[in-house]
Every structure is written in C-alpha cells, then in structure tokens.
Structure 1
Amino acid sequence: MLRSFVRGLTCSEPKNAQPWGSLIRQSRRDFVKTTKEKGKGKGAAIDQEPSSEFSGPEGEKIVACVALERLPLIVPPPAPEVLAFRNFSSAWNDQYRRHYPKEFIDVLSSSNQREANSAELVFEPAPRITEADKANDRKSLQRALDRRLFLIVQGYPLGYSKEKLIWHFPERIYKNEETMRLCAESVLVPTVAKEDDVYFVGNAPCGHFIESLADPKSKSPITYKRFFFRSQLLGKVRYKAWNYKDYAWVTKEELLEYFEMDLSAYMKQMLVDDLRVIY
C-alpha cells in the first residue's frame, strides 16, 4: 500500500502545471514590466542596448603611446664583481691543474691537431665602440650595441600648444577601437614596412601617466591619460612616412634629457634597465 502511494506521487502531475521555460519567460516579462512602470517618471531607458562606440567622461581623453625599443645586439660586459670572481676562480684552478707529459698525448689525434691549428689563428673581435658612438649620432641604430635604444620623436603632443616642438613617444588618441592594443598598433602603421617588423610585448600597457592640460581654444582643463605600450623593433623603419619634425634613438639615461622633470622621473621607474651578465 505504501509503495502504491509513493508511485502515485512520482507519476501524477498537477493539472495546471507549465513547463519551466514558459514559467521563466513569464517571470521575466513581469519583472521587465514592473521595472518600466517604476522608471517612467525618472526618464530611465532600461530596455535600450548600450552603444558600441567609446564615450569617456567629459573633459577626459585617453591616449595610446608606443615605446619602441631596439634590443641589445651584443652581450653586455659583466659586472665588476662577476669579472673579479672569474679571475679568482681561474687562478685558483690553475694551481691544481695537472700537466701531462707530451709523450702521453697523441700528437696525431684530430682534437690536438685542431687545437694546434686554432692556436696559429689570430682572432680579432669587432669593436664594441662604433663610429656612430664616436660621433654621438643619435639617429643611428649602430650605437650603444649592448644597450636598449628607445625611439622618441619631436613634434606636437596631444594637448600641448603648437608654439614649441616637444620630444615624446609616438602616440594616437583612442577613439572606438576594440582594445587599447589595437590603437597602439595603429600608431606604428605608417612607421614600419610590415606587421612583423614590430613585436608588442603583451596586451596590457606597461604604465600610464595622467596630466591635466588646458585646451588651446576654450582654455578649459582636460585630463589626458597616456598609456604606454612596449614594443620591440624586429625589422626596418620608414622615417619618411612620418609627420614628425625629428627623431632620435636614445638610451634610458639619454631619454631623461629630452623629457620634462615629472615625466623623466616616471620614465626612470617605468622603463626596464639593462641587465648585466651575471653568469
């Protein structure tokens, strides 16, 4: 008798039962209707979809800046303490090194023959100091071969008056791109010959700098948020395609000479230092 009662509970359905999908749709319609009735007097437009275009706060502009760098071409010299340890280790190992008699060594072996031939060759490494270093040619990429070089341009940055030329990173104002990374990539479109000539390090910016500037026309203050993206040069650069007055490839220390005090202090912390070889 108990089994028949339980079977009746599991198999029977109420006469007014509705599928779950219809119940959810009905509750959703009731919720939207109630919400619209509450927001009629307040001018709320809840059922409108958001616009796909970017619309920032009034008096604020977002700028994408690109810090294009040329990586070191040669291995930087070791740190002084590392060099001192190498010399000490070599001198310490020499006093315990065994010297075998010549009759124990097979002169006709291939390895010994190669060593004898290599001893006769005179190898002269290429100079670390190039002609561009001696002339201090900051437009050349053949200088500071063991350092990172950053590209800066001379022109009129966004938000500044056109009365004076200012050194800055290549930049572009953010409009309605899907991401800030795409906006940063468009900055170097007229600069590089191919897309593979530049490699962007990550999708996120490496830093941002906020400054309030007066509008040249209305004199009202506008906040400029500059987001810096790191990129590395892998190919060639087309300098003739630019709208800038001048350009330069400088190291981190030289870069601080071109920027203002506040921005120079920030760049000193944001940009990566050249790491010395520690092995």
Structure 2
Amino acid sequence: MNTILKPMSSSVRMIRKTVTAVHAVNLFGSGGGCGKRLASDWQLLAAVCLQRLPQIVPEMNWLEKKMDTVLKTIELNNSLLSDHEMRHFADIERAKRIASGDKVDEKDLDAAAKQTAQDFEEFYVKLYDQFTKSSRITQADMTSDRKSLDRCLDKHLMLVCKQRIGQTDQWLLPQAIHTDGETMRETAERGLKQFTGQQQQEIDVKFMGNSPSAVYSYRYPTDVTNRLQLKGAKIFIYKAIHLMGEFVPNDELCLDYEWLNRKELDQLLPEKYWKTIEKSLLIEELDINDIMSRNKSFSRIVKKRFSVSQ
C-alpha cells in the first residue's frame, strides 16, 4: 500500500506545481503575453510604486566621514608623486642653482621666467575660492511643495494619490482593477495612464520587470463582501522609475497627489499598507548609532578602530 501511495502523492504535488505555474504565467505573463482572468474569491488589482531616484549623493554620516579620512590618508601615503609635484621640486632645484650661480644655463633662466608650479597652484586655488557650490536645499524644500520633484534631492520620492475608496478618501499608490485579457503588469501600466490627465503629455517611466515587488491584501467589510461576493482585494505592487516629464492628475480618479519621501509616506499611508511596500524597497540610509546599540561586536570594533565614544 505504501509503495502505491508514494507515487500518487508525488504526482499530485507535480500537478499542483504545474497548475500554479500556469496560473502565474496567465496573471504575470511570460514575455508580455496576455493573461486570462482566474476564478477567485478575491478582487485583483495592480498598483504602481513610481519613484524618482535621488539626484545628488546624500551627506555622509559620522562613521563614513571617519572612514573616508582613513582611506584618503592611506591613499596619500602609498601614492607616488604627481607630475605637478615633480615640476614643483624641479622649480625649487632650479631656483637654488640660479641663486648660487652654479651650473646655470639659458634653459634655466627661460624656465624661471615662465609660470612656476607654485604660481600655477596659487592661480587655481584662487579660482576655487571664488567658486560657490549650489545649495542642497531648493526653493521647493523651503516652501514644502510636495507636488514638486525638485525637493529632497538626496532621497527617493514616491508618487501617491488621494482616491475615493467607498465612502472615504485615502492616500494610495495609483492602481487599477485587473480585467480579462491582460497581465498584472499591463493592469499596472493602464492604472498609471488612467491617473494621468488625458490632455497632458504622458510622463516617461520604466517598469522594473514583469513580476510584482510586493502584494498587499485586505478583507472587505461584511456588507461589501455580500454585495460583491468577494472576500477582499489583493493588490500586486509593481516598481517603476520616473525618467522625465511632469505628472498631471486625472481629476476624476486622482483627487490630489504628492511626491513624498519615506518618512512622509510613513506618516501618511495606512500603516500595514506602507509596511508592505517598505519591505520591497532598498535601504536608503543607515542609523549607525542604532546599529551599534543593537550589535555589541560591531560597536566594539568601531570604537577601537576609530576611537569614538558613541
């Protein structure tokens, strides 16, 4: 009996894996093919996590600054003299010969009359001192213009839209309900287009693959479940990168919109919804003090190597 049941159970597992794979291809596509709607107790939606990437390098934390100083010191100590430094030493030796009158020829006198390495260095140091760096803080930062992409230049910004959900208004990612004959990515692309004003030029975005980066699900209230005959909604979230263009909302779907950094998203979006999205994002910055407080071994190494008291 056991020898008969084992092959049967293996066959069942193989069939289940095959069915799951077919369903995945239907929903998410394999090279962009159309999908078929599957009978489900859940309503399927696709949302777009549209991000504007950082435009400038973020400021270094205290540990990165100390490490940067150490590496620059090592590089300087192990480096060879540059052409400029060799020229400077040659100028010094030439000046000594001219001053002593020892073995002075016309070439030395001609070279001494030209710009020396020291003169060259002082000229460009003066130019550098006249240079003014652009501020990391923009006008949009000072006015807290959350509709502008010209803010928080060293951080990611994410597009969120205020939408009418049932009888309430909620801040969510642009989304659309899945329909027959399209993959979930196509649903996400359609959703983003629907949230953009039809009379405006479309923004240029790049979707990061055919598979969702996160899935958020929630159950409908009892009255909605009875009316729609659905347990709830499953939202497949796709990542996309903003390349160029300005987002102009479709007022019928998007009551309002904002480009927010992660701290602002944490305060505005529903808690479980944001936590699901956050897990799929790359870490933007590290809190070194927090890591040191939780990892004693790391803390001891940092304190020993860099002589810090944090």
TM interval, shorter chain, is 0.5 to 0.7
Following superposition of structure 1 onto structure 2, how do residues 183-262 of structure 1 map, counting pairs within 5 Å? 183-190=187-194, 191=196, 197-214=204-221, 215=224, 218=227, 221-243=230-252, 244-262=254-272
Shift of 1:118: 2.2
TM-score (norm 1): 0.67
Aligned length: 221
Q: Distance in 2 between matches of 1:144 and 1:200?
A: 23
- The one-letter amino acid paired with 2:59 is P
Q: In the alignment, which of 148, 168, 176 is matched to residue 172 of structure 2?
A: 168
**1:263 aligned residue (263, 273, 282):** 273
Match of 1:272? 282
1:119-158 alpha-carbon deviations (Å, 9 max, x no partner): 22122111001122222221111110000000000012xx
**2:159 alignment partner in structure 1:** 151
Matched AA of 2:125: A
Q: 2:47 aligned to 56, 59, 65, which one?
A: 65
Q: 1:240 to 1:62 in 2, by over 3 A?
A: closer
1:31-50 aligned at under 5 Å gives the runs none
RMSD: 3.2
Residue 219 and residue 134 in structure 1: after superposition, are their counterparts in 2 closer, same or farther (change >3 A)? same
Pair 115,66 (structure 1): closer, same or farther in 2 beyond 3 Å:
same
Q: Is the 8 A contact 2:202 2:247 kept in 1?
A: no
Q: Which has the larger radius of gyration?
A: 1
Using the size of structure 2 for normalisation, the TM-score is 0.61
Do the aligned partners of 2:46 and 2:237 also contact (CA within 8 Å) in 1? Answer: yes
Asked whether the 8 Å contact 2:50–2:159 carries over to 1, the reply is: yes
What is the DSSP-based 3-state SS (H/G/I as helix, E as strand, rest coil) of the residue aligned with 2:273? helix
SS of aligned partner of 1:186:
helix
C-alpha deviations, 1:183-208, integer Å up to 9, x for none? Answer: 21112224286677111111111110
More helix by share: 2
Identity among equivalent pairs (%): 24
Where do residues 11-160 of structure 1 align in structure 2 (5 Å cutoff)?
Answer: 54-90=36-72, 101=89, 102-104=91-93, 108=114, 115-121=121-127, 122-156=130-164, 160=165
Which amino acid letter does the alignment assign opposite residue 175 of structure 1?
A: T
Distance 1:238 1:149, change over 3 A: closer
**For structure 2, which runs of at least 5 residues remain unmatched after alignment?**
1-33, 95-110, 287-310
Judge which range, 71-80 or 110-119, deviates more.
110-119
Q: 1:151·1:250 contact (CA, 8 Å) conserved in 2?
A: yes
Give the letter for the 2:54 counterpart.
P
- For the residue of structure 1 that corresponds to 2:240, the secondary structure is strand
Q: Which runs of 5+ in 1 are unaligned?
A: 1-51
Deviation at 1:262, TM superposition (A): 1.7
Distance in 2 separating the partners of 1:204 and 1:69? 17
How many Å apart are 1:232 and its aligned residue? 0.8
Deviation at 1:271, TM superposition (A): 2.3
